[in-house]
Each structure stands twice: as C-alpha cells, then as structure tokens.
Amino acid sequence: MAKVSICIPAYKDARGVERLLKSIEEQDYRDFEVIITDDTPDDSVRDAVRRSETSVDVSYHHNDKPLGPGGNWNRSIDLSSGEYIKIMHQDDWFTFPDSLKKFADMLDQHPDAVLAYCGSRQVTIPTDPEDNDLSNYYDRCITDENQTLIEDDWRNIYVGQYIGAPSATIYRRSDLRFDPNLKWLIDADFYMGLLKNGGNMVCSREPLICIGVSAGQMTNECAESREVNLREYKYVYNKFSLGEYEFCRNKLTDICVTYRGRYRDIADCGITRQEYDAVYKPFRRDLIEYYFDLILRKTHIRKSDHTSVQRFA
C-alpha cells in the first residue's frame, strides 16, 4: 500500500491533466499512488492519460454519471488506499521535484497534525492552447496573523479561508468527505470538519504547488454570486453551530450586506436587527459616498469646488 494517495478529480481539462502527471513523474518521493476519477462527458481526459509520456502508474476511473465537484472529489478518495490523502486538481501541479516529499515530511514529522498546508504559486494559464508560457505568476502564503488565528480557533476558517485550495494541502486519512451540498465553501467546510475534533495543523511557507489561474474557473463564478454566498455561508454557519460566536455572526452579517441581502435573509440564524444595522448603515454610507465621488469624476468636477454640497447621511 502506498503512503500517499494522489487523488485527481478531473473534468474536461486534458491539457491540465497531462501537465499534472508530468509534475508527478518528476517527484523525488516515490511512495505514492495516483487515482483519477473523471466527470468529463467525452474521452478527452482518458486519451490524455493514455498518451501521457510518463512512467506514472495511474488508476483511471470514468464516472458513469457526472458526480459534480464534491461527489467526484469524494470518489477519488474512496478509491484510494494511502495513509495520507493528497488532492490535486487538474489545473494545478507540483512546483518542485521535492514538493511531494516535503508534504509527506510535514505529517511524518508532526504525528499530532491531521492537516498540513503550504504556500502556492499563482500561475496565469494562457488562453491559447498552443501557448505554454507559464512565467506569469506570483507566490503567496498565509500571514503570521492569520496562521495564529486558525491555530487558536479552527472556526476562524469560516471568517477567512486562509489555508488555500485543496491542492495546497495533505491530510491524514479519515472518514470525513467533502460536502456535496457546497461548491464555494466546500474546502473551508472540509478543513473545519477535520479540525473540530482535535488535531493540529502544520504549515510550510514554500510554494510547493502551482495553482493554475484562468478566467473560466468555477471559483470566479462563485465569488460574484449572491445566491451562492448567502446560501453557503448560512449552511456552514448552521452546520457547525456558529451562532454563539460573535465573530462568526459578524461574518455572516457582512456577507449578507456585501451581497445585497436583506435582514430577513439571516434573521433565522439568530442575528439581531441591531447587529445587521451596525454593518449595513456604514456600508450604505460608504456606498453612497463612492457613487457620489464617481459622479463627480465622470462630470470632471473637483470635489473641492463643491464644498457647499451636502452628502447623504
């Protein structure tokens, strides 16, 4: 049995799968298995795996019916056997030849840790399939402040998903699975589930993985969606009984106001009207000032020439 299961839930991106498999082949650490579960309606990913010129032994499984993000992620885990689970999305890949070894070492060297995570290299994927230029990137990692926050209380992951995408993590095998009711907060929900029953986290600031960034990613759509944000933040709030924590109530209220929800959208979560108004009124005031300034700029009128104009309160 392999120590690490590299689980790849694939959907359509054959070029990304080939790139990922190549990065796996280049790893110094060899105690792993690779499982691909494929939601793609055609054979493009299957063909990419077959023509991939690597020595990596891949266990490929095409889903008879599309399972969706959560279901596909879970099937890849269910088919794995390793002690450590390493999710890798098809548009991501390992940055360095020793990346996988460093992931495994974090858990090997910290037996009390249930989850390890790293920094990431955010790489812009060219839209032209013939363009292989991956030189447009920047590195990022968690701040000291945010690392302390989530180490002090795992519920702070609800306030900010500071850990990163599943590709930036490795975790000890457990019975926990990704919640198919979610797509935007699915990773944050999973991390919270791992940590709520105890166990620590360990972090590397190195960008051990590259995250492929492109315009068509599901995350872009979710980030702008009022319906998705309101529904999923409420769902996770209730699932983990976060209502007794003021910082979690504040986060849900802020999401509601930011995405133009109304008080009635979160009234059933135990949030008072006073709490809602405390966020809504400053937001509304800032929004009015923003549009007022925008109108002035568009009409080429300097604010200093309009000192007598009273702004809305």
pLDDT in tens, 189-238: 999 999 998 889 999 999 999 999 987 666 667 888 999 999 999 999 99
Identify the CATH number of the domain in which residue 60 sits: 3.90.550.10
Q: 149 and 272 in one domain?
A: no
- Count of C-beta atoms within a 10 Å radius of residue 214: 14
Q: 268 and 204 in one domain?
A: no
Residue at 291: amino acid letter:
Y
Q: 238 and 155 in one domain?
A: no
Identify the domain boundary among 156, 183, 215.
215
Q: What is the pLDDT of residue 313?
A: 38
Tokens of 103: 């992931």
Query: In the chain, where does DSSP find H-type helix?
Result: 14-25, 44-51, 68-78, 99-108, 144-152, 156-159, 186-195, 218-224, 226-239, 246-258, 263-266, 273-298
- Given a cut of 50, is residue 64 above it in pLDDT? yes
Q: 280 and 150 in one domain?
A: no
Q: 293 and 270 in one domain?
A: yes
Asked whether residue 163 is domain-assigned, the answer is yes
Asked whether residue 220 is domain-assigned, the answer is no
Q: 206 and 231 in one domain?
A: no
Domain total for the chain?
Answer: 2
- Numbers of helices and strands, H then E, in the chain: 12, 9
Spatial neighbors of 250 by CB under 8 A, at least 6 apart, are 275, 279
- Given a cut of 60, is residue 302 above it in pLDDT? no
- Given a cut of 60, is residue 104 above it in pLDDT? yes
Q: 166 and 20 in one domain?
A: yes
Asked whether residue 311 is domain-assigned, the answer is no
Query: What predicted TM-score, i.e. pTM, was given to this entire model?
Result: 0.88
Q: 211 and 241 in one domain?
A: no
Q: 285 and 144 in one domain?
A: no
Q: What is the pLDDT of residue 283?
A: 67
Domain that includes residue 46, residue range: 4-215
Q: Name which of 221, 224, 216, 232 is nearest 90 in CA terms.
A: 216
Identify the domain boundary among 157, 187, 215.
215
Q: 229 and 175 in one domain?
A: no
Strand partners for 34: 6, 58
- Tabulate helix, strand, coil % of the chain (nearest 5): 45, 20, 35
Q: 133 and 192 in one domain?
A: yes
Q: What is the pLDDT of residue 114?
A: 98
Reported as a single tens digit per residue, the pLDDT across 1-33 is 899 999 999 999 999 999 999 999 999 999 999
Rounded CA-CA distance 251/247 in Å is 6
| CA atoms within 13 Å, Cβ hemisphere of 229 | 20
Q: 185 and 233 in one domain?
A: no
Tokens of 311: 């702004």
